[in-house]
Structures are given as C-alpha cells and as structure tokens.
Amino acid sequence: MSAEDRQPDELLRTEGLAKVFGRGKDEVRAVDGVDLALARGEVTALVGQSGSGKSTLGRLLLRLMDPSAGRVVFDGRDVTAVRGAERRDYWREVQAVFQDPFAAFHQYRRVEATLATALQLMPSGTDGRALMEASLASVGLDAAETLAKRPHELSGGQRQRVMLARALMLRPRLLIADEATSMLDASVRVTVLNLLADLRDERGMTVLFVTHDLGQAYYLADRIAVMHRGRIVESGPAERIVAEPEHPYTRSLLADVPKLHRTA
Ligand SMILES: Nc1ncnc2c1ncn2[C@@H]1O[C@H](COP(=O)(O)OP(=O)(O)OP(=O)(O)O)[C@@H](O)[C@H]1O
C-alpha cells in the first residue's frame, strides 16, 4: 500500500468496479464501472430503482462475490481479492443487514444462537454473553426478553433490530444496510432510521444505506449516490441532490417521492 492510497476522510472507495453476469445476448452489466467513495463517519445513501445494481454493488463491497473488473480499497488497503482468514478479518470491519431479516434467521434458532454466530469472527476469550446484552441494549431490545425467542415470536421491527445487534457486536467500521427498512411499517422504519443516525453520531460509524426510496435517503443520509443501469449517474450532498438534481433519472426518482409516501 502506498501512502497516497490512504485518503484521510475516506473509509472505502471503489475504482472502476464492475460485475457482468451472463454472456452474449444474455449479458447483464449489473455494475458498470463504479467509482464510489464513502466518507468516514457519514451515511451515504445508494439510491436506485429495482435492477439498477445496488445489491450487486453491496455484495461486491462485502466480498461475497468477485468483481469482473476494478478495485475495492478499504482504509487504504486493496481488499478486492481478499479471501480466507483475511476475508474474515475484513468482515469484522464491514458488516451488513439485509432487507428480510426473517430469511437471515434459522427458523427454529433462538436469538441467542443467531447472535452467537457473530462470535465465530471474534477472538477467543470474548465474553459473548456480555457483548450480546450490550448490543441488544444498543438497539433498544432487552436481552432477558429477547435472547430465548425464536424468529416467529418477534415482530418485523424486532427481527431487524436483532440483525442490527448481531452486526454491531463486531463493532464494524462500515455498516451496509441493504433495503433494511423496506419491509418495516412506517413508525418502525423511522425508529430504525434514527438508530442508524445515532450509530453515525455517537460511534462515528460509516454507513452505506441502500434503498430505492429517495425520501428515506434524504431523511438519513449526508450524501446520496444515484445508481442507474449499473452506473452512479450523480452523487453529492443530500440537500444538493434533492434541491438541484442534475440527472434526468434523479429527477424522475424525485417525482416518485410523493407517490411513494401516499401509498406507504
Ligand atoms: N446472480 C445473477 N445472475 C444473473 N444476473 C443477475 C444476478 N444478480 C443480479 N443480476 C442482474 O443484475 C441486475 C442488477 O441486479 P441487482 O439485484 O443488483 O439490482 P438492485 O438494484 O439491487 O435491485 P433490487 O432493488 O430489486 O434488489 C439485474 O438486471 C439483475 O437481474
């Protein structure tokens, strides 16, 4: 790693990142040359409609799949090809919560066992019980009430908070929240959005908030990157993107915001 590779304000950046699925006429350029920088301690929202490539980009950042081209640089270190023990180390720094927390749970597994899976990434000798209790408390859940429950005994909002608690046990520096609020009803959604804002404000956590909803992005994010057909078509401070959108696609997303809220 060279000294100039480490930008002080930048926790993660991608350079020309691409993912192509299929071949010939079936080829899909799901991520098509993305340069994205995530500033430390900020929430960046990645906004785009279904199929724009947001989840694929998220999976590339998490090292859950190999890119077709380009690089991922985390804290000045090239992590594009990390695997094995190095990739597990990376996952202590970068954690994710996904859209459907029910799918992420084992149906019959109690919350305690779900949270314990995070301990596999931690040094031996870690006081797992204390960590679980603290992490559940940080998302507003009571350990005594929650640890013995199975997924179907929890509400959607509680399940999402358990998954957030699991991610937070590792004290990641970057949290990727991929449509993490889209299945929640409006009041629970605001609670989870505020929780993400608190993680930024109190812990200085960097968050990539992936959503199709520009309204939620504006509510939470410092910066917004708009994704369309695998490319970032526009990015900048959230106020600027919403007040003075430059790209026609951003304008069309903005036009949808009142509609989304009327149907919510
Ligand atoms: N494993 C795969 N094989 C082939 N094509 C894929 C695969 N994963 C994604 N794609 C395609 O890549 C494009 C981007 O998909 P992706 O899921 O990243 O979009 P998205 O913006 O996250 O959409 P959504 O909000 O609906 O999840 C889509 O055309 C999708 O069909």
What number is the average pLDDT over the span 46-64? 95
What is the chain's mean pLDDT, rounded? 89
Q: Output the 3-class SS for the chain.
A: CCHHHCCCCEEEEEEEEEEEECCHHHCEEEEEEECCEEECCCEEEEECCCCCCHHHHHHHHCCCCCCCEEEEEECCEECCCCCHHHHHHHHHHEEEECCCHHHHCCCCCCHHHHHHHHHCCCCCCCCHHHHHHHHHHHCCCCHHHHCCCCHHHCCHHHHHHHHHHHHHHCCCCEEEEECCCCCCCHHHHHHHHHHHHHHHHHHCCEEEEEECCHHHHHHHCCEEEEEECCEEEEEEEHHHHHHCCCCHHHHHHHHHHHHHHHHC
Report which protein residue has its CA nearest ligand 1's atom 29.
51
Q: What is the pLDDT of residue 6?
A: 59
> How much is the ipTM here?
0.95
Higher pLDDT, 106 or 113: 113
What are the φ/ψ torsions at residue 13 (nearest 5 degrees)? -145, 155
What number is the average pLDDT over the span 12-26? 96
pLDDT digits (tens, 9 = 90+) for 184-242: 788 888 888 998 999 999 999 999 999 999 999 999 999 999 999 999 999 999 999 99
**Class of 3-263 per CATH?**
alpha beta
CA of 97 to the centre of ligand 1 (A): 18
Q: What is the pLDDT of residue 100?
A: 66
CA of 133 to the centre of ligand 1 (A): 36
What are the φ/ψ torsions at residue 22 (nearest 5 degrees)? 70, 180
Report which protein residue has its CA nearest ligand 1's atom 22.
55
Report which protein residue has its CA nearest ligand 1's atom 4.
21
d(C-alpha 72, C-alpha 79), whole Å: 6
pLDDT digits (tens, 9 = 90+) for 118-129: 888 887 788 889
> What pTM did the predictor assign?
0.90
Q: What is the pLDDT of residue 262?
A: 47
Q: Where are the domains of the chain?
A: 3-263
pLDDT digits (tens, 9 = 90+) for 133-172: 999 998 889 999 999 999 889 988 888 889 889 999 988 9
Which residues have C-beta atoms less than 6 Å from ligand 1? Answer: 21-22, 28, 30, 48, 50-56, 212
Name which of 1, 8, 23, 22 is nearest 71 in CA terms: 1
